[in-house]
Structures are given as structure tokens and as C-alpha cells.
A and B are shown apart, each in its own frame.
Chain A
Amino acid sequence: MTADEADRDQVTAALEYRLAVAEESLRALLAGGVDAIVMNAERGEQRVYTLETEDRPYRRLVERMSEGAALVAADGLIVYANERLASLLGVPLERLLGGPFSDWLDEPERAPFIAQLAAGTSGHAEHTARRLDGTGVPVLVGLNTTEGSPGSLRCLIVIDLSQQKAQQQQVRRLNAKLTDQLAELHRINSDLEDAERLLTYRTLHDPLTGLPNRALFVNRLEQSLAAAARTGHPVAVSFIDLDAFKRVNDTLGHAAGDLLLQEVAGRLSAVVRPNDTVARFAGDEFLVLTVGATSGLPVALADRLLGALHEPPLRAGAETVTASMGLAVSYEGVAPEQLLREADAAMYHAKQAGGARWELFGSRLRAELRNRRTAEQRLRKALAGDGVRVLYQPIVDLADGRAVGAEALVRLQRSHGGLLSPAMFIATAEECGLILPLGQRVLECACEQPLRWEHKSGHPWYVSVNVSPRQLAEADLVAEVTAALAAATLPGDQLRLEITESALLNVDPRVMNILNELRAMGIRIGVDDFGTGYASMAYVRHLPLDFVKIDQSFVSGMYDDVHNLAMVEATLALSHRLGLESVAEGIETEAQWHQLRDLGCDKGQGFLFARPTTSELVCVGSPTQ
């Protein structure tokens, strides 16, 4: 065969093949067995024309979706599968087609799957797919009968669950961890709640006795008063204070004092009714709130509470300790603080009357309390404004009657003119603590004066200022004095401080230090009202003192009463022995002056020489005999 012949045969064969293809295609097309035809377009491209075009968009979707998809016949053979299913099972696509899907499931899962297929039901279930390489893949297989499909095809969707499984496991792990942490958090929270409860308890209770404290008592009192306003049944507040508790603490120690307080708490708690409240107010002060008090109750209540404390007697070491009690019954519109003040005032009154007794707050005490409040208000107003006046009473050298100093005396300016004397407000000032700012004010004013007087008279002056027990105990006296001296540029030796005898009876080391420091600054310290207290002689020599002031009550009675004279003589003798300067108060007659001078008294003051006057008048008219 020539080359030409061979070529021709080849072309013929190709043509015959194409013809055969075309004829066969046409036959099948006419028989309805074809569902797509392939046409060669220009430039060698070819297009597929689907004869049943309506499912074409869906096919694209199916081919590109990320889930495995397949169509299976009722007997389980795969007639169509997408690439995703092939890759999921790790097989070439053509290996899938025509075979049963159940072959790709784990052995035990095949029969149930086949049964479900045969039943034609829809549903989904988890399976383990067996890949070609033998590895297992968790899958979710959804089965749906597609309506109108020839040969009742089932639509199969296969979803790879391995990632979800891994995530689930991760979630389970995290969940377990979270559960642990929640438990921990719960535990911490519960600990916190415990701590908070404890804190609340501690905030509202006294740690020593376990009784409610002041805050809780006031809170309950408020509630009880509100209830009393509704029911009309008044409540009673009992204010109980141990007599001389400080002595127990000082002599027997705090442990003994604490034991005593616990004993008191126990006894009081044992005799009150369940709805009543026993509280520790402060120190050795206890409060009892009695609800539903009736008119006959106060006496019974007071006897019951004090009886509990006195029988059997409270003991601390060898000492018997008694208590004083004040009782106040509520009335319409009374505030809790007011009722407490009233019970306190009644207790104070019982204590003043000698202790170991009780007092009911009534109209008499109410008036007293009101007066004290008025005095307190007046004092505050005076301190806030310009109401504090300081007068000066010259002190003379008894040898020649020449004024060398002056005692500063405080007065309050009355609103309608005139001055209020110390007797009207000093006690109140001591009680409410206003004595501290008041004393400081007087000190500052007084320090301004001596240099003025010196300038006028041409010789040195000193000023003598009273210091209250509370100033000594509570104020920073050294700092205040230092500041006042500095402000007035006054040398320390031109200032004297007078301290009442009662304040010097129990001098602790702290007060002793203060006195020593003041003296180191050149300031002279003296005892005021000497002889009016008790045990007067013994303590003087232990104190850092410079002078003694003889009370006017002894001076004025010297002539008539031999005891007063003896007192003055003894004081002067003691002063000389101890090297103390003596200053007599209340000299009103020439006879008193001469007698004191003859007895060796150094200085004196009184109406004979000058009345208390303003600073400007101190130097004018002072006798120069």
C-alpha cells in the first residue's frame, strides 16, 4: 500500500468513525436516550447543550458545593456523585459511580443504611465513612427522596464531620475547664460572702462581748420608734454605766476590765426579753432597748436590770463594782439621738447622786438638758463670731502693792449687752469639749497683752492663764503655747499657767512630760484653788510647780474662822518649804492684805487692788503705794 493509499484509508476510517458516531447519536437522539449534545464551535472550542436545561444551574451548584453529594438508586447504587464526595472518600470519581454507597460505610452501619434506602424514608444519621486508604471519617449522611426523579432516585448529602468533631472535642475540653473555673469562682464567691457576712457582723457588733454595737443599737432604736409611732406603745432606753470602771482597769489591768465587761453583758442579756436589745455603747457603757414599754414598766425594768448587776455583786479582784443607770421613755416625735441623750443625762444624774442607782429622765432633767443645750449653742456662736471677751485682773506684789501681772479671765458677750460669767458656761464647755477651742482663744489673746502693759508702764508684766483639765489631757498644749508665744513675740517667762488642783490629782507620765516641757520654755506653772480639793498637801512636792494660788474662800474667812487661817498658814509654810511662790486670791480689805503680807505671802489679787477689767484699763489706776 502506497503512502497515499494509507492516508486515504486513514481519512476514510476517520470519516466513517464520525459518520458512525453521528448516525448512532441521531438514532439515540430520536429514541430519546440522549440528554446532551456536544457541538464544536469556532476555534476548536466545544459546547455542551443540555437537552433538559432546567436542572443545569442546580448541577453547577451541586458540583461546587463543599458537601459531598450523590444520587443513588433504591438499591443503593451511585448514579451521580460530585467531586467533593470523591475527595472526601479518597477515591477517583469514576470509581464511585455505579457502585453501592453503603460499601463506603463501616461494616456494621451498612445494613441499617440499606434498610433506610429501601424504606424510602428521609432523614439523616451520623456514620463512619471508610476511605479507600482504610481510614475512617465521621460523616453526617442525609437522605432525601427526590420527587419526580426517574427510578426513584435518592439524594444523598454527605458532610465531613471530622472538623466539627475536633471542634466539639475542643469545646468539651473548654467546657470542662470552664466548669472547673466556675466551681472555683463559686467557691471564691462563697468565701467572699462569708467574709462579707463576717465583716457586716463585725461592723455591727462589739468584738469583746459579742453584743450589738452603737450603730446597730441606733438602727434598731430607729425601727422601734417607727413601730411605736404606729402602735402607740412607747419604747424605753436604759443607759448603764459602771461606777469607777476606770479604777478597775487602772489597778487590775485591762484583762480584768474585759472580764468584768463580759460578765455585765452576760447578766444583762439574761434578763431581757427576746425582742429587746442589749448593746455595748462604748467603754463601760451599755444600752438596753425595751420595746412595748408600758406606764408601769420603768420601775420594774430598772429594778430588773440593776438587780441583775447588783445581785450577786459584780466583782473585780477584791473590789465590788456597782452600776448607775439612766432611763428614758419614748414620746411622740422623739428622735433616736434625743432619746439616747435623755437616757445619758439621767444616768449622769444618777452618777452625780452617788452612783449604784437609777434615774428616770423627767421634766426636771429635761429642763436641765435644755439649759445645757442653750449654753452650748451660745458658746458655739460666741466662738464662731466675736463673742469671746478676755478680762484681766491685776496681780500685785504684796510687799508694795505694785501690779506685776494679771490673770486672764474669760467672759462671753451677751447678745443684748453685758457679759456672761464663767460659772454660766465653763462646766458646759468642759462637758461638750468646747473648752479646747475656748482655752486656745484665751491663751492667744492673753499672750498679746504683757508687752503692751510693759510698754505703757515701763516695767515687765506677766499674764496668768487658766488651763482646763481637758486641755491638759486632750489638746497639744505645748504646741498651742509655743504658737501663741511666737505670734505675740512674748518670752516664756512672762506667761504663767494655772491648773486646778483636781486636774493634778492623778498626773500620768504624759502630763508630767507636758509640764516639764512648758517649764523648760520658761513658763511658770501653778496650782489654782489650792486647798479646795482633797489630799492637797501630799502631791504638790512631786510636781514640777512654781507657784500656789490660795483660794479666795480661805482668804475671805481668815478673820472669822480659825480653820481658814490655819489653812492659809499651812499653805504658806508648805510653799516656803518647797520654794514655791504664793499668790492669794480674793483680797478685799487692807487688813487681809497686811495679814497675808505678814504671813509671808508673796503676791495677791482682789477687789482691793483691781476688779477684772479690759486690757486697756489694766495699767491705769493701779495703786503704786
Chain B
Amino acid sequence: MTHEVAPDRLHLTLFISGASPASTRAVRRLRDLCDRNYPDGYDLEIVDVYQQPALVTSRGVVAVPTLIKDLPLPIRLLVGDFADESAVLTALGLPEPTAA
């Protein structure tokens, strides 16, 4: 997927491994989180490491699920199933919803 993106719009890439438990949890939690925190919209690219191995190599992914925040800069990386929402928000460089 190559399309123009606005530099201040949230763009995320999530690496998952099919329907394995941590991956499915990650997808659900991330969707949920973003829907709540970014009501104006966001881009979430989901990459299955089995289906798109080339992307995995180029982004240096080691473990799955891995979330990479591409925009806005700086690039941030988070691995796991996003059980801790505040940790996710911190990693993404966003304020906690309660503080917002």
C-alpha cells in the first residue's frame, strides 16, 4: 500500500501471525484503542508475517505481534499483545486518555 499520508495523521503498522491468540488480541485491542482515542481517523496497516515476509525483513521485526508507529515521527515500536493500554499510549507518545 503506497498512498500519500498527512504527516500529523496517526499511521500504524501492525505485524501479526495469522489468527494466533496474541495477534488476534493485539488486533482487537489496538482497533478498540484507536477508535476511542482517534475519532477523527487513523491508518492501521496490518501485516501478516506469513503472507508478506518481505515487509517483515525490511522493518526488522523480530517478534510478533509488533506495532510500529510510522507517523507522526518519531518512529516507535512496541511488541506484545497490548494488555496494558497505558503502556501502549506511552509507547506511541500519546497522553493517557484520563489525562486528556
Contact = CB atoms under 8 A, between A and B. Distances in A.
Contacts of B25: 79, 150-151
Interface string A19-37: 0111011011101111111
Given A80-B19, A97-B46, A98-B44, A40 B77 contact: no
12 contacts: A20-B77, A21-B66, A25-B62, A28-B79, A33-B83, A35-B22, A46-B56, A50-B17, A50-B20, A52-B21, A93-B46, A94-B46
The B interface, classified by DSSP as helix, strand, loop or mixed, is mixed
A94 B45 contact: yes
B78 A24 contact: yes
Contacts of A618: none
A157 to B, nearest CB: 13
A31 B80 contact: yes
A20 B74 CA distance: 13
B50 A48 contact: yes
Interface in B25-60: 25-28, 30-31, 44-51, 53, 56-57, 60
A284 to B, nearest CB: 101
Contacts of A79: 19, 23-25, 27-28
Contacts of A29: 63, 79
B81 A71 contact: no
A604 to B, nearest CB: 134
Contacts of A44: 57
A97 B79 contact: no
A34 B20 CA distance: 10
Contacts of A92: 1
Interface in A1-59: 17-18, 20-22, 24-25, 27-29, 31-38, 40, 44, 46, 48, 50, 52, 55, 59
A59 B51 CA distance: 12
Interface in A302-352: none
Given A24-B77, A46-B53, A79-B28, A38 B64 contact: yes
A17 B21 CA distance: 27
Nearest to B53: A46
A153 interface: yes
A565 interface: no
Interface residues of B, number: 41
A8 B28 CA distance: 40
Nearest to B82: A33
Interface of A: 17-18, 20-22, 24-25, 27-29, 31-38, 40, 44, 46, 48, 50, 52, 55, 59, 62-63, 71, 73, 77, 79-80, 83, 92-94, 97-99, 149-151, 153
B40 to A, nearest CB: 17
B81 A33 contact: yes
Given A20-B77, A24-B78, A38 B63 contact: yes
A80 B18 contact: yes
B89 interface: no
Contact of A99 (B17, B31, B83): B31
Given A21-B61, A36-B17, A55-B19, 15 more contacts: A21-B60, A24-B79, A34-B81, A35-B64, A36-B63, A46-B53, A48-B49, A48-B56, A63-B18, A63-B50, A79-B28, A80-B18, A80-B23, A94-B44, A99-B31
Contacts of B77: 17, 20-21, 24
A98 B63 contact: no
A79 B26 CA distance: 9
B49 A33 contact: no
Contacts of A40: 57
Nearest to B83: A33
Contact of B79 (A34, A52, A94): A34
